[in-house]
Amino acid sequence: MTTKITALQGQPAKSRSDIWQTLNRLLIGSALPHAILLFYTFLAMFPIVLTIINSFKERKNIFAHPYALPLGNLFSLSGYQLVFNPDRANTGLYLQNSLIVTVSTIVAVILFGAMAAYALSEYQFPGNRWLGLYMSIGIMIPIRLGTVGIIKICTALGLTGTLQSLILIYIAQNLPLAIFILSQFMRDLPRELKDAARVDGASEYHIFFRLVLPLVRPGIASVAVFTMIPTWNDLWFPLILASQEETRTVTLGVQMFTGQFLKDWTALLAALTLAMLPVLIIYALFSRQMIRGLTSGAVKQ
């Protein structure tokens, strides 16, 4: 009887010990990584939030109350008024130029990249693997290394000082990554679906546009985000090839408020906010698709 009582009394204590061990494992295995990620998120978002809130303040309040929210007497739209003042900078035109270049680049990269990826993944021909490897090498080589050659080509073709030169450069810059990501997705599609469509009399164009592209939407979203961010934020090629007033992009237009000895912080922060907002909005809308695309397609073997 004494042995049975001892066994019954010991059972709850053992269960409580198992519960505590489970909680400790969850705390170490889940809470710690989340705390690290939250800290990294804070470090990444802090300068963005600081830029946005200070863009709604006057210069004196930016330095007097840099961390305060723009409420009450601190709120001011003087920075945005300066940004859209035609006498200071034509920010509306700069935003329009950036939008034209970015949208044109994204559409062309997705279309041509998907076509090339479909050819590499669907058709077996001599040199298929070597051609895919050649395309992938473009991911590792920065296009800026060929700046001198690019300038010579644009000058010979009469494209210097035009938005077309920027669009062509960005298409060439982003195509290798687009082909790499989309080809991985297309290789994972069941071949039986395409063969069944061919048996039903569907053309290759019909299969590509009506069957394949809808099935690789996560990959297309990933390509769109990875194409937009470097295209919208680029300063190098607009500064070299399209620095004229009528072709200036918003990233280059921000430099209008930066002088050698003085910075117009009110207008500068407002212009930076306008330049950041499209990227933040697109990333917020397509981040889930982008993460899904990276985890379900591009990292598969």
> What digits encode the pLDDT tens for the residues 53-65?
999 998 888 888 8
Mark out the alpha helices in the chain (DSSP H runs). Answer: 2-26, 32-54, 59-64, 78-83, 91-122, 128-140, 147-157, 163-187, 191-199, 204-206, 213-215, 217-233, 236-241, 250-253, 265-293
pLDDT band at 293 (very low <50, low <70, confident <90, very high): low
| Least confident among 165-169, 181-185, 236-240, 284-288 | 284-288
pLDDT band at 191 (very low <50, low <70, confident <90, very high): confident
Q: Which residue has the higher pLDDT, 13 or 161?
A: 161
Six-digit token string for 163: 């938005």
* Rounded CA separation 133/254 (Å): 39
| Least confident among 9-18, 202-211, 234-243 | 9-18
158 by DSSP, 3-state: which? coil
pLDDT of residue 261: 47
pLDDT band at 290 (very low <50, low <70, confident <90, very high): low
Q: Which residue has the higher pLDDT, 247 or 25?
A: 247
pLDDT of residue 171: 95
pLDDT band at 301 (very low <50, low <70, confident <90, very high): very low
Q: Which residue has the higher pLDDT, 143 or 16?
A: 143
pLDDT band at 25 (very low <50, low <70, confident <90, very high): low
Checking if the pLDDT of 196 tops 80, the result is yes
Assess contact for 163 and 100: CB atoms under 8 A: yes
Q: Name 168's Cβ contacts closer than 8 Å, sequence gap at least 6.
A: 159
Six-digit token string for 82: 């300066």
Element (H, E) at 145: none
Checking if the pLDDT of 7 tops 50, the result is no
Mean pLDDT throughout 94-123? 92
Question: Average pLDDT of the chain?
Answer: 82
Mean pLDDT throughout 102-110? 95
Six-digit token string for 277: 């907002």
* Rounded CA separation 209/220 (Å): 13
Q: Which residue has the higher pLDDT, 81 or 168?
A: 168
pLDDT of residue 112: 94
Residue 67 DSSP symbol:
T
pLDDT of residue 71: 87
Six-digit token string for 209: 């546009």
